[in-house]
Amino acid sequence: MSLHLGDTVPDFNAESTSGPIHFHDWLGKSWGVLFSHPKDFTPVCTTELAEVARLKPEFDRRGVKVLGLSVDPLKSHEAWASDIEETQGYALNYPLIADGDHHVSDLYDMIHPNASDTLTVRSVFIIGPDKKLKLVLTYPASTGRNFDEILRVIDSLQLTAQHQVATPVDWKLGDDVIIVPSVTDEEARKKFPGGWKELKPYLRIVPQPRITH
Cβ atoms of 23 and 106 closer than 8 Å: no
pLDDT of residue 159: 98
Those residues whose C-beta lies under 8 Å from the C-beta of residue 67, and which sit 6 or more positions away, are: 16, 21, 23, 26, 32, 33, 34, 35, 94, 95, 96, 97
- Rounded Cα distance, 87 and 89, in Å: 6
Tell me, yes or no, if the two domains 13-144 and 163-206 fold the same way. Answer: no
pLDDT of residue 1: 56
Cβ atoms of 126 and 134 closer than 8 Å: yes
Q: Where are the domains of the chain?
A: 13-144, 163-206
pLDDT of residue 2: 80
pLDDT of residue 187: 97
- Rounded Cα distance, 152 and 194, in Å: 25
pLDDT of residue 115: 54
pLDDT of residue 117: 55
pLDDT of residue 113: 58
Those residues whose C-beta lies under 8 Å from the C-beta of residue 187, and which sit 6 or more positions away, are: none
Whether 167 sits among the annotated catalytic residues: the reply is no
Fold of domain 163-206:
Antioxidant, Horf6; Chain A, domain 2 (3.30.1020)
φ, ψ at 3 (rounded to 5°): -95, 140
pLDDT of residue 213: 86
Mind listing the pLDDT tens digit for each residue in 89-116?
999 999 999 998 889 998 998 876 555 5
pLDDT of residue 169: 98
Distances (CA, A) of 122 to 44, 70, 112, 164: 11, 9, 11, 32
pLDDT of residue 66: 98
pLDDT, one tens digit for every residue, the chain (213 residues): 588 999 999 999 999 999 999 999 999 999 999 999 888 999 999 999 999 999 999 999 999 999 999 989 999 999 999 999 999 999 999 999 999 888 999 899 887 655 555 555 689 999 999 999 999 998 888 899 999 999 999 999 999 999 999 999 999 999 999 999 999 999 999 999 999 999 999 999 999 999 998
Q: Helix, strand or coil for residue 35?
A: strand
Distances (CA, A) of 158 to 9, 126, 151: 18, 11, 10
Q: How far is CA 159 from the centre of its chain?
A: 15
pLDDT of residue 110: 85
Report the chain's C-alpha Rg in angstroms: 19
Among 14, 34, 45, 178, the one annotated catalytic: 45
Q: What share of the chain is helix, strand, coil (3-state, %, to 5)?
A: 30, 25, 45
Is CATH 3.40.30.10 what the domain over 13-144 is classified as, yes or no? yes
Cβ atoms of 206 and 175 closer than 8 Å: no
pLDDT of residue 145: 95
